Structure 1
Amino acid sequence: MKIPTQMKAFRFNRYGDPAENQRIPVPEIGADEVLVYIHNAGLNPVDYKVQAGKMKMIFPFHLPLTMGNEFAGEVAQVGSNVQDFQVGDQVYGRPDNQHTGTLADYIALDQNEIARFPAELDFQSASGVPLTGLTSYQALVELGHIQPGQKVFIQAGAGGIGTMAIQIAKALGAYVTTTASPQQTALVRSLGADQVLNYHETYFADVLFHYDMVFDTLGGQYLKDSFKILKPGGHLVTINGLPTYEFGQQHHLGMAKSLLFAVASAPLQRLAKKYHVHYDFLIMHPSGAQLQILSQMIANEKLLPIIDQIYDFGEAQAAYDYLESGHAHGKVIVNVNH
């Protein structure tokens, strides 16, 4: 594969600026890295949160920044230390925060952040797996410690995270309750949800109790009320709450920032103490090894990415507008090179 010197990229120059199509150099790879030619990119709410500057307190990014945090493509070049991948391999992944930018022709990233995707998927569907799949897996397994027979409540089951989390929780043997509109009840039930609450009519905290885990994606009052439905020793994992002191330390963000997180999350920590449960804020980390586990789930027909809309590269902003509207059920995908 002949690699050009320049490539297209959908990026913004300053926080709050609109993203636009630009021409930038193709990245060079290190000895442990691979260069991937991107076919498709999956979009996620974290993308426009980063663009708005809402994540810079947690992770400082180098600007200008290319949008996008998950992809499917083929290996175009391998570093001298790379042994498990070769040119032409079809792979998917979620880059780390130093290598963001999947709405571009190419991306350079560490070999440990990618995996071959199963033959059951094409590039479009594969690009919708890495970020939501890894987020759900890490919430349920690393932090939630889900065991067969345990009860899990997953907010917003028809969303990009929800459709993944329901399937992974069921593959782990859990009893799954979720929320959905009447129009999406059939979808979440088809993914394995055992109990579906119509959030227009029923508030989860009024009817659920003694759960082993809550996976919160909404934050705010929904997050605060989630403590009430857990059994003592249960786990509340959120991707839309506040980081803790432990989060800052684990991510090597420094003492000052960790202490700031401790102060900000103190009300939530008090709720955790009141109800004798564990509270964790999650930002997923890249993992090729965990992607291989998800690939096996897909091959075993335990996991299927749900695609809502597919846009062409020139429609990337319209794709983000649709995602931000909150109407997406499943993943929003962009054809980068298709």
Structure 2
Amino acid sequence: MKAFIVKKYGKKEKLHLSDWAVPSVNENDVLVQVHSAGVNLLDSLIRNGDFKLFLPYKPSFINGHDVAGVVTKIGSRVSKFKVGDEVYSRPSDHRVGTFAEYISINENDVALKPKNLSMEEAGSIPLVGLTAWQALIEIGKIQKGQKVFIQAGSGGVGTFAIQLAKHLGAFVATTTSNKNIELVKSLGADLIIDYKTEDFETKLKDYDLVLHSNRDSKILEKSLRILMSGGQLISLVGPPTPEFATTIGLPWYLKLVTKLISLGAKKKAKKLNTNFVFLFMRAEGRQLSEITKLIEAGIIKPVIDKVFSFEQTNEALSYVETGRSKGKVVIKVK
């Protein structure tokens, strides 16, 4: 099969289109013929080597974290799927590799594709959908009437998270540029701040939760200050925490590293009587099935900026790196 692989880590490295063996299928796996693959900033960070301390993939390996496609083979103990099923998934860490013609995935990380979505639309959902679900429902436990601040509302996670937060009954504030105001308004945002001309700290106060996705340390401090006492900042960009290290089973010395690098953020949060949480989303087919229900009910709609051909995978990645995409970027593989 054809696949785009990381031959060596580096920001200037391109993914290489290569011939690769079709992956084997273990007893609990399904083999999926990839029809489309969502492109995420995570794909760039993995290629750059930013996560190699915590996710030590050994080059060469196939990149890509989102998939929609058709099951072509099942393992001997698979019970949830059959050959011919249309599915989507964010494969678990160490099993990634959706920038390819086929991928083998544990059945617990897979869900049936929403019937009302095309393959390209479905391929855009898993990573951002699970990120928003785990932040707002699992960790944040958002209740009706609470106030949520979602940074970068027109991005991949932002466009999904706004819709989910509104479904949960929250009041939603977000940041975006002037040209994307109508988009985030159409998704349900109640208060929209143009980050180029306005300071969100002067407009927001006593928020229950901040979904934080900006690497600027000053933005982190401002975000903590707009929270109410007992509020939570859930960061998608770090710094990683010892709790995260424990969850993914890192050795003691890496737990120590996370303790040191997250100390500043945790201290600032504690001083304000707020909580700092780092979220590195995990694969979860059961949650993805719940997301399928919301999509089929018309509660959440995918937002896609551009669809690239499989051969244009590097161009798709470069476009995502500009930070200017509205919603998601998708690669059409089949």
Into which bin does the TM-score normalised by the smaller protein fall?
over 0.9
Please give the secondary structure, in 1, of the residue aligned with 2:27: coil
Q: Structure 2-normalised TM-score?
A: 0.98
What residue number does 2:240 align with? 243
Once residues 60 and 324 of structure 2 are traced to their aligned partners in structure 1, the CA distance between those partners, rounded to angstroms, is 29
Once residues 121 and 134 of structure 2 are traced to their aligned partners in structure 1, the CA distance between those partners, rounded to angstroms, is 21
Q: Structure 1-normalised TM-score?
A: 0.96
Q: Is the 8 A contact 1:35 1:78 kept in 2?
A: yes
What residue number does 2:299 align with? 302
Map 1:221-240 → 2, pairs under 5 A: 221-240=218-237
What residue number does 1:182 align with? 178
**What does the per-residue CA deviation read over 1:208-248, in whole Å, with 9 as the maximum and x for residues that have no partner?**
11000000111222122110000011110011120111111
Map 1:97-112 → 2, pairs under 5 A: 97-112=93-108
Map 1:150-229 → 2, pairs under 5 A: 150-220=146-216, 221-229=218-226
Listed as ranges, the gaps of 5+ residues in structure 1 are 1-6
Q: How far apart are residue 47 of structure 1 and its match? A: 0.3
- Give 2:103's aligned amino acid: I
- Percent of pairs with identical residues: 40
Q: 2:137 aligns with which of 119, 137, 141?
A: 141
What residue number does 1:9 align with? 3
What residue number does 1:75 align with? 71
**What does the per-residue CA deviation read over 1:33-84, in whole Å, with 9 as the maximum and x for residues that have no partner?**
1000000000000001000000112211132121210010000100010011
Once residues 232 and 78 of structure 2 are traced to their aligned partners in structure 1, the CA distance between those partners, rounded to angstroms, is 38
Q: How far apart are residue 20 of structure 1 and its match? A: 1.2
**What does the per-residue CA deviation read over 1:263-302, in whole Å, with 9 as the maximum and x for residues that have no partner?**
1111101011111111111110001100011101101111
Map 1:311-330 → 2, pairs under 5 A: 311-330=308-327
Please give the secondary structure, in 2, of the residue aligned with 1:77: strand
Once residues 206 and 85 of structure 2 are traced to their aligned partners in structure 1, the CA distance between those partners, rounded to angstroms, is 46
- Give 2:195's aligned amino acid: Y
Q: Which range is displaced more, 59-68 or 7-16?
A: 59-68
Once residues 155 and 172 of structure 1 are traced to their aligned partners in structure 2, the CA distance between those partners, rounded to angstroms, is 18
What residue number does 1:3 align with? none
Once residues 226 and 278 of structure 1 are traced to their aligned partners in structure 2, the CA distance between those partners, rounded to angstroms, is 11
Q: Is it true that 1:94 corresponds to 2:90 in the alignment? A: yes
Once residues 107 and 48 of structure 1 are traced to their aligned partners in structure 2, the CA distance between those partners, rounded to angstroms, is 19
Q: Which range is displaced more, 76-85 or 59-68?
A: 59-68
Once residues 289 and 215 of structure 2 are traced to their aligned partners in structure 1, the CA distance between those partners, rounded to angstroms, is 30
What residue number does 2:113 align with? 117
Q: Is it true that 1:55 corresponds to 2:51 in the alignment? A: yes
What residue number does 1:4 align with? none
Q: Which range is displaced more, 215-224 or 230-239?
A: 215-224
Q: Is the 8 A contact 2:88 2:112 kept in 1?
A: yes
Aligned length, in residue pairs: 331
What residue number does 1:336 align with? 333
Q: Is the 8 A contact 1:249 1:258 kept in 2?
A: yes
Q: Which range is displaced more, 320-329 or 40-49?
A: 320-329
Q: Is the 8 A contact 1:219 1:238 kept in 2?
A: no
What residue number does 2:274 align with? 277
Q: Is the 8 A contact 1:61 1:97 kept in 2?
A: no
- Give 2:167's aligned amino acid: A
Please give the secondary structure, in 1, of the residue aligned with 2:308: strand
What residue number does 1:22 align with? 18
- Give 1:200's aligned amino acid: K
- Give 1:141's aligned amino acid: I
Once residues 202 and 238 of structure 2 are traced to their aligned partners in structure 1, the CA distance between those partners, rounded to angstroms, is 21
Listed as ranges, the gaps of 5+ residues in structure 2 are none
Q: Which range is displaced more, 125-134 or 212-221?
A: 212-221
**What does the per-residue CA deviation read over 1:287-337, in whole Å, with 9 as the maximum and x for residues that have no partner?**
110001110110111101100000001111111111111110110000111
Q: Is the 8 A contact 1:144 1:236 kept in 2?
A: no
Once residues 219 and 271 of structure 1 are traced to their aligned partners in structure 2, the CA distance between those partners, rounded to angstroms, is 16
